[in-house]
Structure 1
Amino acid sequence: MANTTTDQAAADAANLLLRLGLVVAFVVAPLALLLSQRSIFILTPIAGALILAGGMVLAPRMRMHEVFAFLVSPIGLAAMFLAIWALASLLWTPFPAEAAPRLLKIFSTFLCVLPVAASLPARSKAANLYLLPLGVALTAFGAIFLNMTFSSDGGEGEDNETMIRAAEAMLLLLWPALAATALRNRLTLSVSLGIVALTAAISVHVPAALAATGLAALVLATAWTDAPRAGRWVGGVFAACFIFAPALPLLLGPFFGAEAPGPLQGLKIWNGMIVNDGVRMLTGHGFNFVGSGFSRGYLPAQASHSLLFEAWTDLGLIGALSGGALIYLCFKTAAAESQRLAPFWLGGLTYVAAMGVFGAATLQLWWITALALGLGAFALATRGDYKTDRPTAPKRLA
């Protein structure tokens, strides 16, 4: 009897740690990002530690074998190849002192997602699922309120930049939040949440994120009827964008002069780099060349900020091919989820991929951390799809 009481107390404490970690991750962190970009780097590890601590106590519910299964899956192998190639490129990057710590932070962020996701319960409780829409709704209302306050005070600059990033992260978390409400058959809540989030994004003025959201919504609508086909087509389009990205500057770049608008000047700059790169088109200039190039002034501000430009310039053809393969496999795997979940997975992936193509968020560390939060949110929502049917009563034998 004493052992049973002790075990129950330990389980209650573990569930409390788990709930607290989920609150910090999906409610407190998005809200805090409205006020400080640094907050996401502090709160996300705290949330992960709380969730992992709760999962370690609830050891039978942890499925660490899923971590190893993921690593040897096609997605895991493609991700590891890309990571190894990025690591190898540190040998020839001109800024190794800046590139190595940045690459280590990206690796550690994504690697920490695996054990944290594995420590989540096999079945997400409704109370935990509703934390996802709660966090998005509170962040949206906070963004609207702060935007009205800063507008009346004439605030500009750093505060506005912080709110833009918070709005972009909020729209990322919108997709798992919509998945959670859909699993609970809360259509009215889903529609209301989408309206509030879009209103906040419009008030903050994030055109690239809104365009990515519109594209993701179109993919979601298409996936309702045939998710596997939508996954193959959309994944193929984004993979082609990665692989054939230099074709656009090669064909159009020579026709633009110094008076051309910013994005067109970016094509001209990229054209000049392609012509002069030679073997670097195969190997790239090394990880973080673009990031350090912008900060050190080696690259003009008019150069492209797209993830396509960064992938080709940093990692070359090999990096672009592996990146294209990885994104295609991600879409294909997302489309294989249940019919209730696959559209939202595809919508979220489309939003992330489109943001990279548009250049709104690439390998900035705050965005990498937001992606980790998004993956954790999707893992939580996916565990809310029990994939079980009510058994039917057996028919009487004649």
Structure 2
Amino acid sequence: MINQQTADKASDDAANLLLRIGVAVVFVATPFFQLLSPRAIFILPPIGGALILAAGLVLAPRLNMRDIFAFLLSGVGLAACFLAFWMLLSLLWTPFPSEAAPRLIKAMLTMASVLPVAAALPPRTRAANLYFLPLGVALTALGALVLSAQTFAGAGQAGDEDIILGMEAALLLLWPALAATHLRNRATLSASLAIVVLAAAVSAPATGALAATAFAALAFGFALWNARVTGLWLGRFAAACFIGAPLVPLLIGPLIGTDAAPSLLSVKAWGAMIVNDGVRIFTGHGFNFVNSGYWRGYLPLSAPHSILFQIWTDLGLIGAFAIAALVLLAYRAAAAQPERQAPFWIGALTFAFAMGAFGVASVEAWWITMLALALGAFALVARGDYKTARPTAPKWAPH
């Protein structure tokens, strides 16, 4: 009996070490090495996720399938499944199926991998594992400051674009990192972390991500006052943006001259496309049409880069309604999180929406992977909140 208990303890200790290494790889190494090479985002997360999954199988031989099915049957899960189905169906009429299909499959597998990895996490997150989130964000910010100084001095090796992408990733992961420090009641650490990250983003400079952070901070402030009301109205606003986006180019486009600013010319170009789309306004041109269309010359250089334009052009009216429902339900689910976590969920969701709306990031593979990492980070944080009624998992569906 003693030998069996000793073996079980050794097995648990090894699994916990494996879990800690996996968390460090995903949330510390990934954003840091993203500063040096864009390939890091595609190499390190699968390795870290596999380590977490392996550790979870040792600590709990059966994955918590109830949480997985609960999410898939929630409002957010059903909306995500319908959107995925419509994107798959659009491969039948996209003009570039050989390019669109691999991108879509990779994106769907990336997002789907969050479910088993989150289910493999222990019911309670140890403080040491929780601190990997702010550690990874802080190291990324400090690395960006050093690389930006070297680039400014003419001695830098990393490209400016790599630094910007790294800081965009850090600004997204900043929200679950702040949630982690808030759960540990480390107000000074939270403030210091935010200051360092913002300073690094300014030095990069990650202008679009800083603008998105400003909107996210505003949403966070309102959520501190009343998370449910804030989530409800922000969800309605975001859904209205997706559904009503074409009205802006249709109404304003004819009034814009050919010598207007580039941002206005993009609105005019979208309006001209809508007029000529015909039935495509309902079905779209198929997934990945916009991405392929830019470099193949099918779309004018003045066309918008916003996720609003991309959804309408790729997936049409049906796709716009699907993602509008998904965003609305996601905001409601974020607002339904425990009181100490909800504002950070709403801040992160607003940051992601603003990044897409501004055209900084939309459905690129690296951004999809970062969104998956952010969801995994929030799942880790949710299990670090022991004072809630349901500390073992985030509440995916609103009550």
**Which bin holds the TM-score, normalised by the shorter protein?**
over 0.9
Q: Identify the residue that residue 334 of structure 1 maps to in structure 2.
A: 334
Q: Identify the residue that residue 98 of structure 1 maps to in structure 2.
A: 99
Matched, 1:308 2:275: no
State the shift of 1:79 in Å.
0.3
State the shift of 1:387 in Å.
2.7
1:337 counterpart SS class: coil
Contact kept in structure 1, 2:181 and 2:189, CA below 8 Å: yes
For residues 41-120 of structure 1, the aligned pairs below 5 Å read: 41-59=42-60, 62-120=63-121
Q: Identify the residue that residue 32 of structure 1 maps to in structure 2.
A: 33
State the shift of 1:64 in Å.
2.0
Matched, 1:201 2:232: no
State the shift of 1:206 in Å.
1.4
For residues 144-183 of structure 1, the aligned pairs below 5 Å read: 144-153=145-154, 159-183=159-183
Q: Within 1, Cα distance between the matches of 2:31 and 2:150?
A: 19
Matched, 1:297 2:297: yes
The size of the alignment, in residue pairs, is: 388
Contact kept in structure 1, 2:145 and 2:204, CA below 8 Å: yes
Runs of 4+ off more than 2 Å: none
Change (3 A) 1:47 1:247: same
Q: Deviations over 1:95-147 (max 9, x none)?
A: 00000000000010001110001111111111111110010001000000000
Change (3 A) 1:314 1:200: same
Q: Within 2, Cα distance between the matches of 1:295 and 1:62?
A: 43
Contact kept in structure 2, 1:62 and 1:121, CA below 8 Å: no
**Amino acid aligned to 1:105:** K
Q: Identify the residue that residue 2 of structure 1 maps to in structure 2.
A: 3
2:370 counterpart SS class: helix
Contact kept in structure 1, 2:23 and 2:48, CA below 8 Å: yes
1:123 counterpart SS class: coil
State the shift of 1:258 in Å.
2.6
Q: Deviations over 1:290-335 (max 9, x none)?
A: 0000121211222100000000000000000000000000000010
**Which ranges in structure 2 are unaligned for 5 or more consecutive residues?**
390-399
Q: Within 1, Cα distance between the matches of 2:365 and 2:104?
A: 10
**Amino acid aligned to 2:336:** A
Contact kept in structure 2, 1:61 and 1:122, CA below 8 Å: no
Contact kept in structure 1, 2:15 and 2:56, CA below 8 Å: yes
1:285 counterpart SS class: coil
Change (3 A) 1:274 1:154: farther
**Amino acid aligned to 1:143:** A
State the shift of 1:388 in Å.
4.8
Q: Identify the residue that residue 251 of structure 1 maps to in structure 2.
A: 251
Contact kept in structure 2, 1:14 and 1:55, CA below 8 Å: yes
Q: Deviations over 1:237-269 (max 9, x none)?
A: 111000000011111111223322221111011
Q: Identify the residue that residue 375 of structure 1 maps to in structure 2.
A: 375
* TM value normalised by structure 2: 0.95
Q: Identify the residue that residue 396 of structure 2 maps to in structure 1.
A: none
Contact kept in structure 1, 2:169 and 2:370, CA below 8 Å: yes
Please give the root-mean-square deviation of Cα atoms over the aligned residues, in Å: 1.3
Q: Within 2, Cα distance between the matches of 1:168 and 1:61?
A: 36
Q: Identify the residue that residue 395 of structure 1 maps to in structure 2.
A: none
**Amino acid aligned to 1:167:** M
**Amino acid aligned to 1:319:** G
Contact kept in structure 2, 1:61 and 1:121, CA below 8 Å: no
Contact kept in structure 2, 1:55 and 1:62, CA below 8 Å: yes
**Which ranges in structure 1 are unaligned for 5 or more consecutive residues?**
390-398
Q: Within 1, Cα distance between the matches of 2:61 and 2:53?
A: 13
Q: Identify the residue that residue 122 of structure 2 maps to in structure 1.
A: 121
Q: Within 1, Cα distance between the matches of 2:307 and 2:209?
A: 15
Q: Within 2, Cα distance between the matches of 1:60 and 1:217?
A: 40
Q: Deviations over 1:202-238 (max 9, x none)?
A: 0001111111101111111111121100000011111
